[in-house]
Amino acid sequence: MKYNKLPQTDLKVSEVCLGTMTFGQQNSEAEGHAQMDFALDQGINFFDTAEMYSIPSHKETYGSTEKIIGSWFKKSGKREKVVLASKIVGPSPSFGYMREKLDFSPTSLQLALENSLKRLQTDHIDLYQLHWPERKTNFFGQHGFQVQTDEWQDNIHEVLVTLDGFVKSGKIKAIGVSNENPWGLMRFLEESKYNNLPRISTVQNPYSLLNRQFEVGSAEICHRENVGLLSYSPLGFGVLTGKFLEGLEKHPKARLNLFPQYNRYSSEQSIAATKMYHQIAIKNGLTLTQLALAFINQQQYVTSTIIGATSIPQLKENIEAFSIRLSEDILKEVDAVQAIFPNPAP
C-alpha cells in the first residue's frame, strides 16, 4: 500500500480509502466490522463516512454507519490507527429529520459535529467535510450550471471561523468540501488566504471513466493550490465492473436495482462507453475494474480513491487493482473513448 500526505496536514493516508456508506443497510454491523478489519490488515488507514449514511438515507437508518464505525473503534481499540473523515449534510428538503435547519450556520455545524463524535465514539474527526454546497449549483448528476433563484448569501467566512474553532479545540484536524465546483473551492481558498483561516485540504467529488468533469477546472486548482482530490464512485455504482453488461436483471441485489434513483451511471451513453472501456481492458489483459481504478489512481492530483464494497471478495479485488500501472498507449485508448462519450454520467 502506498501513502500520500493529506494536504495542509502531517497526516499520511493510504491511496485507497474505505467507503462505508453500505454499513447499516446493505451491510450488517458484523459485516462492517469485518470490512474494517480486512482493510486495516491490507494497509488501508483512511476511512470515509458521513452523518447521513447509510445510503440511501432514511429516518430509521440515519447515522447508522457512524454508529457501526464507533462500535468497531470501541471493540478493536484501533481508533488511532485510522485517519477518519466524516461530513455534515447540506440543505435538502428530504432530510428534515436530521436537524431543524440543514445549513452551515455555527449552530448547525456544532450540533452535527457533536452528534457525529458521539456516534463515532471518538473525541476527534481527522477530516471534517461539507457534504454539498449550501448554494444552488450543479452537482449530483447535473452537467452544467444553471442560474436559479437562490436566497443563499455568502457565509464562507463565518463557516471557516466556526471550523477554525473546532480545529483549535482539537475536535477536528483538517477540513474539506465535497461535491464542490471550481468557484466554491476557490472562494474557500481565497477566504482562508486573506484571513488566516484553515485551508481546504481536500475536495471529495465523483471521478471515474464515466465522469471526468473534475479535469475541466478543479484539477488545476488542486495542482496549484495543494488540495487533494478524494475521488468517489470510481466504479460508477458498479457499472465499471462490467457486471451489468449482461443485464441488470441478473444482479437483483446490486445497488442499481436496490436504489434505481441512482441511474445516471446506467444511461444509454454510459453503457455504450462502458462497453468500449471493457474492450480496452480485455485487449490489454485487464479486468474492467482494474482499468477503471488504475486510471483514477495514477492521476497526480488524486490523494486517495474511495472504494466501497458489500463483501470481502469485492473489497479484495478492488484493493489489488491499485498495484496496476497503465501504459501511455492504454491511456490514449481511454482518451479516445472519452472523446466519443464525454462524461456520460455527471
| CA–CA separation, 182 and 185 (whole Å) | 5
List the helix and strand counts (H, then E) for the chain: 11, 10
Phi-psi region for residue 8, left (φ > 0), alpha (ψ -120 to 50) or beta? Answer: left
- Short-list 200, 133, 135, CA closest to 164: 200
- Residue 267's Cβ-count burial label (10 Å; 0-12, 13-18, 19+) is middle
SS3 116: helix
Residue 311, C-beta contacts closer than 8 angstroms, at least 6 positions apart: none
Query: Within a 13 Å sphere around the CA of 88, how many CA atoms are in the beta-carbon half?
Result: 30
Pairwise CA distance, residues 166 & 109, whole Å: 10
On the question of a cis peptide bond just before residue 56, with omega within 30 degrees of 0, the verdict is: yes
Catalytic residue status for 53: yes
d(CA 160, CA 179): 18
C-alpha cell at 228: 487533494
CB 136 within 8 A of CB 179: no
Catalytic residue among 53, 62, 128, 277: 53
Q: 266 to each of 96, 206, 305, how far by Cα in Å?
A: 29, 15, 21
Coil vs helix vs strand at 244 = helix
The count of residues in the chain is 346
Longest dimension (CA), the chain: 55
Give the Cα-Cα-Cα angle 86, 89, 93 (nearest 5 degrees). Answer: 160
Show which residues are catalytic. Answer: 53
